[in-house]
Amino acid sequence: MNQVHLEMFEGPLDLLLFLVKRDDLDIQNIPIAHITSEYLAYLDLMKELNLDVAGEFLVMAASLMGIKARALLPAQPGEEEESGPDPTAELKAKLLEYQKFKEAAKFLEKRADEFKDVFFRGTPVFDASQKDLDLDLFDLLGSLREILGRAKPQTREVEAEEFPIEEKMAKIRFLLESRPSVGWEEIFSDERKRRGILACFLAMLELVKTQKIFLRQEGNLGPITVYKKEVRVDVPDPSAVAGG
């Protein structure tokens, strides 16, 4: 599969915050073993999709595994505690600080949207000037993991089988040809093999990247909908043409 580079791809702290929010965890009391296994599962899926995984994701993975190993090691009797900063406390501090900046950025972005000049024609459901992807990539990966859980077990024959992304892109555009939107689940409804599902997912990301479609999610962890992006053609004013 081709490697996909995505501008909406943020750093490892973003993934950790997503996992904390999804599992309703307390940042002040993060279960390191749980968060580490979930983080590594997402990292494996990102690698399988051949996404552009930055080195900082791997550094964070190593840090989490180090913290987990340190927590699992029994303290030796009479052994003095290691001097130096506590990596668990440092991780919590980084997550809290990042969460504050992320919330501030969302507030400023919302205020900017409220005060910008936007003129609507008719009653469109969404403003075309909005971001093409209103939900995190990690939300999509979470939904993808659920769909992959229903796929047939992988075999050697399946691994050798090719699922061109171009064919999956054509399939998605065909589904949207006669209607403005389709449900996320419908995109994968006829996919039974793991590599076919992954190719379909990458095709969807490529269509988002090329601004052919956009995605919306109804509420936190709600259903995801795929929308066709309409192309507007500005028709010149006849009187202006005649006057010219």
Q: Is pLDDT of 168 > 80?
A: yes
- CA 225-231-234 angle, 5° bins: 150
Q: What is the pLDDT at residue 37?
A: 92
Going from N- to C-terminal start, the domains of the chain cover 1-116, 126-244
Per CATH, which fold does 126-244 belong to?
Answer: Arc Repressor Mutant, subunit A (1.10.10)
Q: Say what the pTM is.
A: 0.61
For the stretch 89-121, pLDDT in tens is 888 888 988 888 878 777 776 666 665 555 444
- Averaged over 145-158, what is the pLDDT? 70
pLDDT tens readout for residues 184-226: 889 998 888 888 899 999 999 899 888 899 888 876 667 889 9
Predicted confidence (pLDDT) at residue 131 exceeds the cutoff of 50: no
For residue 91, the Cα-to-chain-centroid distance in whole angstroms is 22
Q: Which residue has the higher pLDDT, 79 or 206?
A: 206
CA distance 110 to 149: 36
* pLDDT classification of 30: cutoffs 50, 70, 90: confident
Q: Quick check: 179 pLDDT over 50?
A: yes
Tokens 């490697």 belong to 3
Q: Please give the backbone phi and psi of residue 224, each rounded to the nearest 5 degrees, phi first.
A: -100, 135
Q: Which two tokens stand for residue 27?
A: 């940042």
